[in-house]
Amino acid sequence: MIDKYCVIGNPIAHSKSPEIHPVYAAQTGQELVYERCLAPLDGFEATIRRLVAEGYRGANVTLPFKLEAARICTRLEERAQAAGAVNTLVFEGGEIIGDNTDGPGLVADITRNAGVSIKDKRVLLLGAGGAARGALLPFLKEGPREIVIANRTVATAAALARDFGGYGIPVSGIGFSEIAGSFDIVVNATASSLAGDLPPVPASVFRPDTLALDMMYGNQATVFMDFAAGQGASVRDGLGMLVEQAAEAFAIWRGVRPATADLLKTMRP
């Protein structure tokens, strides 16, 4: 029987994951089926139980279920524990194992696809929600010089900084109005781009050698990307992060990591 996987969310029709994983399967010689699964907003756990009963081997989880996915797992990997959220599930031996590949996908896109090292760099993370939390541990493992978390609610940024303050690297949480100086890497982890808005970040954070990355992606550059490019920064959207996090999930499930460069080129508008 061919192994089955899916991506679960609500809504789910927009997900590009079913376009990505069959390409990885063909590339690596793996036989699998990958589908979309629409879960009722009040029926995520029941949906997972059904998938396990039907013999699925694993699943990706997207909005709005990443936090609930972490709660129903019987075991969480380190990255999922740190993120407090799960986007990759493994169904194995009666267990539901949760992992989070969003942060590793972001790091892989920056270091591999953009060719920018994070080591000894000054990093600005805009936003202090789940997307920012998921990125912090993978970023810290790359050895940056400093990470500054800026958020509208200072207390939220400060609390997040405290949660990740034990890795020997300075992590601070501040308000947007307190941002000072320029940064090597600026990541927009807010949802502002969904509404076509710009987070209140000063132009002075960008230099010509700054990499500015928006976790959102679409057919056009986001307002954040346009603003950063206007200050001379190099810009990226979140498509590379999506492709790389999918490769990490595929490697967890199948034990082989697919190459991503060609797929990323074909998916880029």
98 labelled ligand-binding = no
Angstrom distance (rounded) from CA 39 to CA 47: 6
66 is annotated as an active-site residue:
yes
100 labelled ligand-binding = no
102 labelled ligand-binding = yes
Angstrom distance (rounded) from CA 177 to CA 179: 6
217 labelled ligand-binding = yes
Q: Which of 4, 66, 121, 265 is catalytic?
A: 66
Helix (H, G, I), strand (E, B), or coil: what is residue 173? strand
Angstrom distance (rounded) from CA 51 to CA 198: 40
Is beta strand 58-61 parallel, antiparallel or unpaired with respect to 3-9?
Answer: parallel
127 labelled ligand-binding = yes
131 labelled ligand-binding = yes
Residue 246 is encoded by which pair of tokens? 């999918």
231 labelled ligand-binding = no
Q: Please tell me what DSSP assigns to residue 39.
A: P
215 labelled ligand-binding = yes
237 labelled ligand-binding = no
141 labelled ligand-binding = no
Of 88, 179, 81, the closest CA to residue 125 belongs to: 179
93 CB-near residues (< 8 Å, 6+ apart): none
Residue 168 is encoded by which pair of tokens? 């020997």
77 labelled ligand-binding = no
CB atoms within 10 A of CB 238: 24
167 labelled ligand-binding = no
Helix (H, G, I), strand (E, B), or coil: what is residue 133? helix
Binding site per annotation, positions for NADP(+): 78, 127-131, 215, 238
Q: Which residues are tagged catalytic?
A: 66
Residues at the binding site are: 15-17, 62, 78, 87, 102, 127-131, 215, 217, 238, 245
Q: Which residues are annotated as a binding site for shikimate?
A: 15-17, 62, 87, 102, 217, 245
